Amino acid sequence: MKKDSAEDRPSAKVPSPLVSGRQRLMEAALQLAATTRSLASLGLREVARQAGLNPNTFYRHFNDFDELGLAVIDQLSGQLREGLRERRRRPAEAGLKLSDTANPGDAWRKAQDVVRESIALVLDFVTEHRTAYVVGIREMHGSSPVLRKALRKVLDDIGEDMTEDVLGALQLPLLQREDVAEISQLVIRQMTFFSLDYLEHPEQREQIRRQAERFVLLLFWGAIAAKAPQELAASGLRFPD
């Protein structure tokens, strides 16, 4: 049998303590999970090696891989929600110029803009945090109930944000809160597929972006048309494209 020393450590980096070991472990795990296999199936020694740390260092920060996964999720989901909230503050204010008395046509045009911008933001985020996003989607359907639940909650929270946003800033006529909430969840979930397509087919990105926009608008259009087909027809609005 081989003595297991000195073979374990220095495969990746110099032991620069510029970032904490905890952070190094998280990044190493993400990197490995994105290129190799699922988070839970990673070896404790494997990630320590990638991080340039001693295997036992893992124990100092995490008890198991679920704990590491939760830490990563906390860190990044916060970034995503914050980013979404922040950039959505802008069009919301711009939209106030059209006051609550705006006619349906203005509301619908504004809805198009908001949809376009929100989708762009999501797609930018996933390209910027590609590995984390891919691993996140993977673990959402993965084998750890803990991570599954945490990631489902992230999606649901984003859905709630979207619901509030649509209700507050968009003021689409005739749609109740529950209608909007249902549509939001559908949109958020479908976006996971659009995002993966977007990442995996860089040559078709513009097309995928338009498909996503069309899907969202189609849902809202359908929901309005389901509630009040006559009013929609009478408004003379046309579906874009």
Q: Identify the burial level of 26 via C-beta atoms within 10 angstroms of its C-beta, where 0-12 means exposed, 13-18 middle and 19 or more buried.
A: buried
Residue number, 12 or 226, with CB nearest to a copy of itself: 226
b/e per residue, 117-131, with b = 16+ CB within 10 A?
ebbebbbebbeebee
The reply on whether position 161 binds a copy of itself by CB under 8 A is no
Q: Which of 19, 94, 96, 233 binds a copy of itself (CB under 8 A)?
A: 233
Residue 54 partner contact from a copy of itself, DNA, none using kind-dependent CB cut-offs of 5 to 8 Å: DNA
Structural tokens at position 65:
């891989």
Dihedral angle, C-alpha 49, 60, 136, 201, nearest 10 ° = -20
The answer to the question of residue 232 lying near a copy of itself (CB under 8 A) is: yes
> Does 193 sit near a copy of itself (CB under 8 A)?
yes
- For residue 38, the partner it binds in DNA, a copy of itself, none, with Cβ less than 5 to 8 A by kind, is a copy of itself
DSSP class of residue 169 equals I
Residue 211 binds to a copy of itself (criterion: CB under 8 A):
yes
Residues that bind DNA (CB under 7 A): 1-9, 15, 17, 20-22, 42-46, 49, 52-57, 60-61
> Residues 6 or more apart from 145 whose CB is under 8 A from it?
none
Which of DNA, a copy of itself, none interacts with 98 (beta carbon under 5 to 8 A by kind)? none
